[in-house]
Structure 1
Amino acid sequence: METELLVRAAQRGDAASLTRLFQAHYAGMRSVAQQILGAGPDADDVCQEAAITVLTRIGQLRDPSAVRFWLHTIVRNLCRTRLRQAQPVPMDMSDLDLAFAADDPVERYADRDWVRHALARLSPALRPVTMLRYFSAHDSYERIAGLCVIPVGTVRSRLNEARRQLSKILPLVRDERHDESAALTTLRRAEAAAILDGSPGAVRGRWAHSAVVCWPDGRRTTGLSSVVDSLRRAVSPQRLVDVVAAPDVTVWETTTGTWLLHERGGQVRNVRLAVDV
């Protein structure tokens, strides 16, 4: 019954319900993809494509009780299409090694999925600085301070506290399932890809109409439309490199810079961009 309620809410445009629905079924969808394509980046890529399909077609699902079968069918069809096209396997940037300071308790877990999973356990104020420090090129204290609009000293103190918390959290979550965290990242990556490609229709409801966007040149605009218009006018397109997602915070890493998105109530409310230098 709860699943059916989530489907109905998602069809009405409730982003939080769609996220919960996708997270609940992500493990099964990924399992289907791996059965057809094998374990590896191809299966993850198909799940990202499936996320875009779910975003655009959830309204077409007539029987909410059949959502599991519907989701698995989407994955199977995408897998078969991929096999027919025989596309080369894309590089998964999340598999690249991350550089951590020698005295950092996160270092010994740098190549583990549960590092990202553990971000959800951090205090909300600590998540943005931690995500930027460990999962983006925008990782100096000064650059993090600029994106988060806090003093450099606050960045240092929050990172110290984050390291203290993670030293306790990481060993505890090592054996937990990370499907929910992976599903959230997949959804947010699909959202980022749609927006950067200039096709935001499916994710428009995820952005509040009053969302404030702060650009590197000091401009402040409002709403997703202003983002899409600016991207279309840009001389060179931004390509997505990586996405890190945690509750209420998402970081997009692109070929030209870093986006920091803050959410409230399942909608993006504030966005800040910084260019790489």
Structure 2
Amino acid sequence: MGELSDAELTRAAQAGDVTALGVLLARHEAGMRGVAIAVLGYTAEADDAVQDAAVVALRRIGDVRDPAAVGAWLRMVVRNACRARLRSTRDIPVADGWDATAATLATPEQLLDDHALRDWVWQAIEQLTPPVRLVMMLRHFSLGVTSYEHIAQACGLPVGTVRSRLSQGRAKLAEALRATAASAHDDAGALAASSRLDALHTLAAAERGEFTRVLADRWAKDVVLTAGGVRAVGSDFLARGMDGDLAAGVRQRPVHVVASREVVVWEMDLLNPPDDPDHCPPGVAWLMSLDRGRVVDLRLHHAPRETAPRTPTPGQPTPRETGPAAPMAAVTASGSN
């Protein structure tokens, strides 16, 4: 296969030939690394940019319009990733940052669904350990928890640990991709669709007053919840928290789902009541770890407020100080009673 041209390899990769894609990445690795070093110097950031570009190639090889120019396409992915790092202190997800026009057309999940490699990629992601898999899923497939800082906050980790796990994840992903290339793969699209239905059914059941039943059926009795710096154990905390939010008029709407067999992320819009628009932040991500299909660990990460807090009346705290910072915010109150 190494004797084939770039155009032939690209067409084969777009048709689902995983070996062809591996040959392309190996063939152009030196050029990709050269671009990263030219822009960022001999730094860990340069290595990260090359590794990110490899992940982008796995997900978006179907977007290459000129197969003979795939080398230039790969170098462009690296170059734009490097420039994004230089322009901002915040990390911009490579998949969304390298081509702003293409990024507006589809989400990363939709791009995966559009070509034959998606199930192979997800099968490889399943081979990662759950802690590494979670940071990889957030970085490359979530909508709002993609920067190193936000991932660190969501997972309760130092930023350095996030960087380390992402580096481990990219290296392990490459190994897993090679190891799973010839195996049968789960239907990643069906898994995500099933998880989205689960999110919708869970919220609908909660609004009917049946959240306790859902917890008993699908969640571990001793599930661990971490939210707003508070850690609680047991499904009773979750039930009281959800009931408190619903009583306050807060509703949740799923906007994006990322799912593997043992790690699931539900990203939600938070819809506050008209008479209390600052009750909750605009969104929340549910980061769930599963064991044999049951949720055993839940971390809630809340989207930052986009508007500046209003000036409080003297002696009266701001909404950010008093209002629940998340769905199931009553967990905090119930845990202190």
TM-score by length of 1: 0.55
CA distance in 1 between counterparts of 2:154 and 2:186 reads: 29
Which residue is equivalent to 1:75?
none
CA distance in 1, matches of 2:251, 2:139: 25
Shift of the 163–202 alpha-carbon distance from structure 1 to 2, 3 Å rule, reads: same
Q: Give the 5 Å matches for 1:26-105.
A: 103-104=51-52, 105=54
RMSD (Å), alpha carbons:
2.8
In structure 1, the residue matched to 2:168 is: 161
Q: Which amino acid aligns with 1:124?
A: P
SS at match of 2:295: strand
Aligned twin of 1:273: 300
Q: What are the superposed Cα offsets for residues 196-215 of structure 1, whole Å, 9 maximum, x if unpaired?
A: 23254456411122222222
Match of 1:238 in 2: 252
C-alpha separation between the residues in 2 aligned to 1:233 and 1:221?
22
| Structure 2 residue 143 is matched with structure 1 residue 139 | no
After superposition, give the CA deviation of every residue in 1:171-218 in whole Å (9 maximum; x if it has no partner). Answer: 554665444544443332222112223254456411122222222374
- Give 1:151-190 correspondences, 5 Å limit: 151-170=158-177, 173=180, 177-190=184-197
Measure the CA separation in 1 of the matches of 2:233 and 2:194: 25
Give the deviation of 1:159 after TM superposition.
0.2
Question: Following the alignment from structure 2 to structure 1, what is the Cα–Cα distance between the partners of residues 173 and 201?
Answer: 32
Give unmatched runs, 5+ long, in structure 1. 1-99
The structure having more radius of gyration, on CA atoms, is: 2
Which position in structure 2 is the counterpart of 1:116? 122
SS where residue 252 of structure 2 aligns?
coil
Encode CA deviations 1:126-182: one digit per residue, 9 max, x unaligned: 111111111221111122112222221111111001111222333554665444544
**C-alpha separation in 1, matches of 2:139 and 2:150:** 10
Instruction: Note the C-alpha offset of 1:250.
Output: 1.0
Aligned counterparts of 2:202 and 2:285: Cα–Cα separation in 1: 14
- Superposition pairs for residues 182-201 of structure 1, below 5 Å? 182-197=189-204, 198=206, 200=211, 201=213
Compare 236-245 and 203-212 and name the one that shifted more.
Answer: 203-212
Give CA-to-partner distance per residue, 1:87-112, whole Å, 9 cap, x none: xxxxxxxxxxxxx9665121112233
Contact 1:127–1:249 under 8 Å retained in 2: yes
Change beyond 3 A, Cα 1:234–1:187: farther
Question: Cα 1:155–1:217, aligned 2, differ >3 Å: closer, same or farther?
Answer: closer
Moved more, 146-155 or 234-243: 234-243
Paired letter, 2:122: R
- For residue 212 of structure 1, the aligned residue among 214, 224, 245 is 224
186 and 203 in structure 1: CA distance in 2 versus 1, 3 angstrom threshold: farther
Q: Is residue 188–residue 243 contact of structure 1 (8 Å, CA) maintained in 2?
A: yes
Kept after mapping to 1: 8 A contact 2:222/2:233: no
Work out the number of aligned pairs and report it: 178
Instruction: Give me the TM-score of the superposition, normalised by structure 2.
Output: 0.46
For residues 265 and 177 of structure 1, the distance between their equivalents in structure 2, rounded to whole angstroms, comes to: 21
| Conserved? CA contact 1:251–1:260, under 8 Å | yes
| Identical-residue share of aligned pairs (%) | 35
2:72 corresponding residue in structure 1: none
The change in CA–CA distance for 1:183 and 1:261 in structure 2 (over 3 A counts) is same
2:267 to 229, 234, 253: 253
**Matched residue SS, 1:239:** strand
> How has the CA–CA distance of structure 1 residues 174 and 227 changed in structure 2, closer, same or farther, with 3 Å as cutoff?
farther
Distance between the aligned counterparts of 2:227 and 2:289, measured in 1?
15
Instruction: Tell me the equivalent position of 2:56.
Output: 107
Secondary structure, counterpart of 1:145 in structure 2 = helix
Superposition deviation, residue 221 in structure 1: 6.5
